[in-house]
Every structure is written in C-alpha cells, then in structure tokens.
C-alpha cells in the first residue's frame, strides 16, 4: 500500500513529524534514526525515545556508520525487549540482512523503515559542504551528483526493498508530498491508526525507480570496465602500496563481524630469525608482511556478502580508492554463485551449504 505524506515545511521535517506520530502512538518505544549532531557538521544514527527530542534528518546525505551494523551491535547478545523502529538506507538493510544470516543480529520487536537513497557525500564533504547550499536539499532535488561517494554513484539498488515500510522520494513531487510504502504486515500495522491517503497511481514511482536503477546500473558497468586493468599480483601490490595496515577498512565494514580479526591475532607473529631468513633469501624484505594478504583474505571472507556501502573506502586514511576494485570483485564473485547479498533474508549464503554439482569446471567431477 503506498500512501502520501503531505509536506510540512520540508522533506526532513515531514519525516520527523511522521516518526514523532509513531513514537507518540506508543507502538514503538524508541526510534533509531539519523539525527544531526549539535555542531550540525554531521549526523549519526541516534536512539530517541522522547518525542520532543526528535530532530531527525533521515535524508542527510552521509553514511558515518552502517545502521545495519549498529542494529547488530545492539541485538547480537540479546534481541530487543521493547518495540523499536529503525530507519535505514538500502545498503544498510542489505548489510543487516547478511548479518542476520550470520546470526549477528536479532529482529525481535524491531520494525525496519527504509528510505529511498539518492546518494551520500563523503563525511569531509558533508561537514564542509561548499557554498551556501544545504546538502540535504541538493540531493533531494537530484541536482548535483559530482561530489557523491563512488559507492553511491554505482549503487546496486538505492531502494530498500525488504524493509517493513519505505519512506519514498523516487516518483514523488517532493515539494508537495513524499511516499509511504508499507511492505509487510508489521509495517501496515504501524500506520493502521494514522489517517493517510493512498496515492492515485503507483506508476510514477515504478517508473522513477526503474529510471534510477538503470542509471546506477549503467554507471556501475562503466565503472567496472574502467578499472578492469587492476589485475594480477603486481597491480594489486601497487594498488595497496600506500596501505598502512591500520585495518580501518575492516573496522568500518558492516560485514566484517568477527570478534577478533585473524590478522589481529598472533597467527602472523614471527620471531626475528624468520624475517632474517626471509631477508637472506630475497635480499630485502618489507614489513609489515601481511598488508596485501590481509586485504585478499578479507575479500575472501566478506565479498559474497559485500553490499557495496563504500564505508571501507571512506575509512581509509591513505585514501586508497577501494571501491575501484571491490565493485568488480563483488559483482563477479556474487554472479558466480547467482547470489545477491541482502536480496532475501531466506536465501542461503553460498559456500556454507555443501553442493555436489558446484563449480564443476574448476573442480573434479
């Protein structure tokens, strides 16, 4: 069912007032949504239980952390006792879906509200947005994409299909109204007491969604082609040349769920004599030795579930354009298994189930 939310002042305020209504209705005890920090330079997913403290901007075009990973943090020990509404973008819901498959989150008492995402800016760009424009307004109008994050420009799907309800802007005239698409019984139940009017036709939205998906798909294809020359060990070594082995990419990644990364354990610790022996046979030996191994191992572990949120790239202190290779690796690896992370919570992850007839062309028959 798609309803209209009439604009009050502007789009963020309209959503804020909708969330306020939700909180006041008592159907949820708290809302987890993007709210600006007091400085106004940034916004973070914030848990709000007092309707008066609601000052959300769910369209704030930045992704400081993945709300999906936050939900995992909140619920992996124990699910929520009280009803909670969480507002997330498409890539965040996809990450959450993968974490659910990995038993790293619990959706008990949680309702997922998705928002259409026109794209986000890097943190630095958002906090010092050039000119006098409000970055939220810029993206809502769809005017400028030049400063957006690579991940967003090549987004796999900006529509949060699997949410309980979607707050939509694609196919809406955001000067007049935005859309509220209830996708599940839970979602419908939340708004059952509100007086909402249904949209006349769903065609406009369908058309707009198709359009943006096509646009992203094309961009993505071109992007992968453009970087197809990064292949082979030498190219990879060059690509990661400036890696300082800080593991920030792993820490920012919503899919990297290990309590302690293998690369932070003692597996790769060795005595001096061993390094000296290496140096002796090669003449010279760079340390740390496991930079590239770390990255390829991390890809090996998470790439099938990679939702391409681009948080790794944003976290890199050396500005390594990680999405240049991750986009292609994720695309190809996932295609091999006909798997799309986040597509369906019921879909089993590849490799974890034994299939006799998998990869016959590389294995033994």
Partner 1 sequence: MVMITIDSKEYEAIPGETVLDVAKRNNVFIPTLCHHPSVEPYSACRLCVVGVTQKGWTKVTASCSLLIKEGMEIKTSSPRIDRSRKILMELYLARCPESSELKEVASKLGVDSSRFKTYTEPNEKCILCGLCVNVCEQVMGVGAIGFANRGAAREVIPPFQEHSDVCTTCGACAFVCPTQCIDLSEISTQTPEPLLSDYDAGLAERKAVHIPFPQAIPNVPIIDKDACMYALNGTCKSCENFCEPEAILYDQEDEDININIGSVILSPGADVYEPPEGDSLGYGLYPNVLTSLEFERMLSASGPFQGHIKRLSDGEEPKKIAWLQCIGSRDESCDHKYCSSVCCMYSIKEAVIAKEHLPGLDTHIYFMDMRTFGKDFERYYERAEDEYGVVFRRSRVPRIEQNRETGELSVRYINDNGDVEIESYDMVVLAVGMQPCDTLPDLASIVNVNLNGYGFIEVDPYYNVETSRSGIYASGSATEPKDIPESVIEASAAAAIAARDIKDARGSEVTTKEYPRERDVSNEFPRTGVFLCHCGINIGGIIDIQKVKEYVQRLPYVALADDETFSCSQDSLERIKERINELGLNRIVVASCTPRTHEPLFQDTLREAGLNPHLFEMVNLRDQNSWVHRDNPVLATEKAKETVAMGVVRVNEMRAVSHEKFPVVQKALVIGGGISGMSSAIALSDQGFDVYLIEREEELGGLSRDVHLGIGDEDPQKLLEEMISKTTEHENISLYTGAILEDIDGYVGNYTSRISHEGTTETIEHGAVVVATGGEAYEPTEYSYEDSENIITQKEFEKDLASGKKYLGDLKEVVMIQCVGSRNDEHPYCSRICCSNAIKNAVRLKENNPDVSVYVLYRDIRTYGFKEDSLYRKARGKGVFFIKFDENEEPQVDLKKGKITVQTKDKILQRDMILNPDKLVLSVGVVPGENTALAQQLKVPLNSDGFYSEAHMKLRPVEFSADGIFLCGLAHSPRFMDEAIAQARAASSRAATILSKEYLETGGSVANIASRRCAGCKLCVNICPYDALDYDEEKRIVIVNEILCQGCGACAAICPSGTAQQNSFTKRQIMSMIDECIR
Using CB under 8 A as the binding rule, whether residue 247 contacts partner 1 is answered as no
Which of 39, 81, 229, 259 forms a contact with partner 1 (CB under 8 A)?
A: 259
Integer angstrom CA distances of residue 248 from 243, 263, 265, 315: 10, 12, 16, 6
Write out the binding residues for partner 1, residues 297-336 only, by CB under 8 A.
301-302
Using CB under 8 A as the binding rule, whether residue 20 contacts partner 1 is answered as no
Q: Of 140, 143, 146, which Cα lies nearest the Cα of 122?
A: 146
Distinct helix (H) and strand (E) counts, the chain: 14, 8
Of 9-17, 47-55, 130-138, 273-281: span binding partner 1 (CB under 8 A): 273-281
Q: Smallest distance, Å, CB 9 to partner 1?
A: 44
Using CB under 8 A as the binding rule, whether residue 362 contacts partner 1 is answered as no
Which of 123, 261, 329, 340 forms a contact with partner 1 (CB under 8 A)?
A: 261
* CB 314, CB 252: distance < 8 Å: yes
| Those residues with Cβ within 8 angstroms of residue 221's Cβ, 6 or more apart along the chain or in another chain | none
Write out the binding residues for partner 1, residues 87-126 only, by CB under 8 A.
102-104
Q: Smallest distance, Å, CB 267 to partner 1?
A: 5
Using CB under 8 A as the binding rule, whether residue 359 contacts partner 1 is answered as no
Using CB under 8 A as the binding rule, whether residue 277 contacts partner 1 is answered as yes
Using CB under 8 A as the binding rule, whether residue 260 contacts partner 1 is answered as yes
Element containing residue 23 per DSSP (H, E): helix 11-25
Q: Interior CA angle at 14 toward 8 and 15, to 5°?
A: 175
Q: Smallest distance, Å, CB 354 to partner 1?
A: 7
What is the DSSP-derived secondary structure letter of residue 266? G
Write down the residue that tokens 């000296």 correspond to: 276
Nearer to partner 1, 260 or 338 (CB): 260
Which of 197, 201, 265, 287 forms a contact with partner 1 (CB under 8 A)?
A: 265
Using CB under 8 A as the binding rule, whether residue 353 contacts partner 1 is answered as yes
What is the DSSP-derived secondary structure letter of residue 206? H
Using CB under 8 A as the binding rule, whether residue 200 contacts partner 1 is answered as no
- Show the tokens assigned to 227: 């970087």
Using CB under 8 A as the binding rule, whether residue 76 contacts partner 1 is answered as yes
**Adjacency order of strands within the sheet including 30-36:** 43-48, 30-36, 84-89, 110-115, 165-168, 177-182, 2-6, 197-198
Which of 207, 274, 288, 344 forms a contact with partner 1 (CB under 8 A)?
A: 274
Using CB under 8 A as the binding rule, whether residue 355 contacts partner 1 is answered as no
The C-alpha atoms of residue 236 and residue 60 are separated, in whole angstroms, by 35
Integer angstrom CA distances of residue 1 from 83, 84, 279, 345: 22, 22, 67, 22
Using CB under 8 A as the binding rule, whether residue 13 contacts partner 1 is answered as no
Q: Smallest distance, Å, CB 98 to partner 1?
A: 11
Nearer to partner 1, 194 or 258 (CB): 258
Binding residues (CB under 8 A) for partner 1: these are 76-77, 102-104, 257-262, 265-268, 270-271, 273-274, 277-278, 281-282, 301-302, 351-354
């Amino acid at each position: 069912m798609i309803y209209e939310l009439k604009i009050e002042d502007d789009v963020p305020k309209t959503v804020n007032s909708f969330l306020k209504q939700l909180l006041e209705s008592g159907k949820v005890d708290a809302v987890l949504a993007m709210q600006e920090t007091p400085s106004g330079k940034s916004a973070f997913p914030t848990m709000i239980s007092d309707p008066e403290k609601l000052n959300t901007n769910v369209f704030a075009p930045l992704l400081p952390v993945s709300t999906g990973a936050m939900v995992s943090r909140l619920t992996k020990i124990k699910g929520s006792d009280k009803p909670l509404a969480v507002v997330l973008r498409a890539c965040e819901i996809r990450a959450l879906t993968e974490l659910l498959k990995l038993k790293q989150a619990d959706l008990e008492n949680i309702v997922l509200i998705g928002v259409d995402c026109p794209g986000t800016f890097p943190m630095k760009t958002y906090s010092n947005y050039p000119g006098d424009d409000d970055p939220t307004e810029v993206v809502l109008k769809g005017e400028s994409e030049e400063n957006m994050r690579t991940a967003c420009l090549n987004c796999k799907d900006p529509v949060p299909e699997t949410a309980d309800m979607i707050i939509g802007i694609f196919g809406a005239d955001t000067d007049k109204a935005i859309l509220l698409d209830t996708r599940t019984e839970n979602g419908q139940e939340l708004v059952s007491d509100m007086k909402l009017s249904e949209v006349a036709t769903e065609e406009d939205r369908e058309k707009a969604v198709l359009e943006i998906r096509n646009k992203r798909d094309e961009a993505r294809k071109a992007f992968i082609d453009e970087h197809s020359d990064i292949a082979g060990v030498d190219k990879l070594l060059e690509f990661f040349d400036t890696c300082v082995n800080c593991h920030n990419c792993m820490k920012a990644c919503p899919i990297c769920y290990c309590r302690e990364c293998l690369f932070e354990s003692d597996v790769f610790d060795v005595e001096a004599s061993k390094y000296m022996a290496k140096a002796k046979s090669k003449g010279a030996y760079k340390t740390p030795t496991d930079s590239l191994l770390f990255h390829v191992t991390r890809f090996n572990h998470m790439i099938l579930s990679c939702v391409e949120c681009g948080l790794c790239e944003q976290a890199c202190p050396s500005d390594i354009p990680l999405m240049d290779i991750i986009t292609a690796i994720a695309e190809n690896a996932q295609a091999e298994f006909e798997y799309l992370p986040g597509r369906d919570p019921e879909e089993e992850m590849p490799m974890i189930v034994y299939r006799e007839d998998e990869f016959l062309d590389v294995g033994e028959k």
